Amino acid sequence: MIDHLSVSQVKLYLLCPLKYFYRYIKRLPAPPSSELTLGRSVHAALETNFTQKIATQQDLPLSHVTDAFSDAWEQEAKETAFDEDEKPGQIKDEGINILGVYHPTVAPTIQPKAVEQPFELTFANVPYTFKGKIDLVDIQDRVIDHKTTKRAPSPEQVAQDLQLTAYSLAHQTTQGQPESSLRLDVAVRTKTPKILQLETTRQPADHTRFLKLLGYVAKGIQSSLFYPNPNFTCPSCPYRRHCDAWQDV
């Protein structure tokens, strides 16, 4: 039933196994939310800058970065499910403002070594691989992930973030040594955007726990354990109609 897993798949299964089923097994269409579209567009702009910076060691002008954001936004927004009270133009302006704060303050402090670095981990006697892409690795072997969010994450959330754990595991497995440090660069969507740089670490026990969790998720999927898990995302879930009729199937 599965040939590979990713952090996104694992997190979605843990959030709601039935939602995982509709998205990854049934492959029902689900338009992205405005928050996801904003995050993807900001991410595309950062990728544009940092990819060329590997060779040039110079940041692009801010106007080039915001142009990359706008190009990505225009493409992503075509498929986005905006809420009735949302104004796409205002959300796009948020992205421009985020980059206006991030680019002159944080970008100059980063010299990337790898951007969107793909990885694929294999395991003995396991019929699936674990795939993903590490956002950014700098020349000091620091692994950096970028997030755009409405609320700053708590220290506990950063310490338990599965994305960072996966990045750490992948870096150590593929490079043969641990990263020098892990950092989450968060753009908080306040009236004047705030950029937080949140340092954290991962130990071997964290990797072991993650791999065990990965195994249990895989077993659940392979055993067709798909059930609803009511949570805060239900009101905006694109599969709400299917979920409501789940007990009748």
Query: pLDDT per residue over 146-156, tens digit each?
Result: 999 999 999 99
Q: What is the pLDDT of residue 1?
A: 67
Top-confidence residue, 236 or 43: 43
Average pLDDT for 118-132: 92
**Model pLDDT, residue 249:** 66
Q: Residues 49-68: what's their mean pLDDT?
A: 98
Q: Which residues pair with 118 in a beta bridge?
A: 133
Length of the chain: 249
In this prediction, residues 225-249 reach a mean pLDDT of 90
Residue 248 within any structural domain of the chain: no
pLDDT at 161 over 80: yes
User: Residue 150 corresponds to which amino acid?
Assistant: K
Q: Classify residue 232 by its DSSP letter.
A: T
Q: Is residue 212 part of a domain?
A: yes
Contacts of 121 (CB under 8 A, 6+ apart): 129, 130, 131, 169, 170, 173, 174
For position 2, what pLDDT does the model report?
Answer: 81
- Predicted local distance difference test score (pLDDT) of residue 125: 80
The CA dihedral of 97, 100, 106, 107, to the nearest 10 degrees, is 120
Instruction: Give the residue-averaged pLDDT of 157-178.
Output: 96
Instruction: Identify whether 111 is part of a domain.
Output: yes
* Cβ 36 vs Cβ 248: under 8 Å: no
pLDDT band at 39 (very low <50, low <70, confident <90, very high): very high
Residue 226 binned pLDDT confidence (cut-offs 50, 70, 90)? very high
Positive or negative, the CA dihedral 173, 174, 178, 184 is negative
Q: Is residue 155 part of a domain?
A: yes
Mean pLDDT of 116-136: 93
8: pLDDT strictly greater than 80: yes
Considering the domain boundaries, does residue 247 fall inside one?
A: no
CATH number for the domain harbouring residue 182: 3.90.320.10
pLDDT at 236: 85
| pLDDT, position 126 | 84
Using the 8-state DSSP alphabet, how is residue 129 labeled? E
pLDDT, average across residues 165-181:
95
Domain assignment present for residue 249? The answer is no
Report d(CA 135, CA 246) in Å as an integer. 37
Q: How many domains are contained in the chain? A: 1
Residue 166: give the domain boundaries. 4-242
Residue 242 has pLDDT above 80, yes or no: yes
Q: What percent of the chain has pLDDT over 90?
A: 90
- Supply the mean pLDDT for the chain: 95
Question: What's the confidence (pLDDT) of residue 248?
Answer: 77
Is there a domain that residue 127 lies in? yes
Q: Any residues with CB less than 8 A from the CB of 234 and at least 6 apart, and which? A: 240, 243
CA–CA distances in Å: residue 170 to residues 6, 17, 42, 115, 182: 12, 25, 24, 14, 12
Mean pLDDT of 235-249: 87
131 domain residue, yes or no: yes
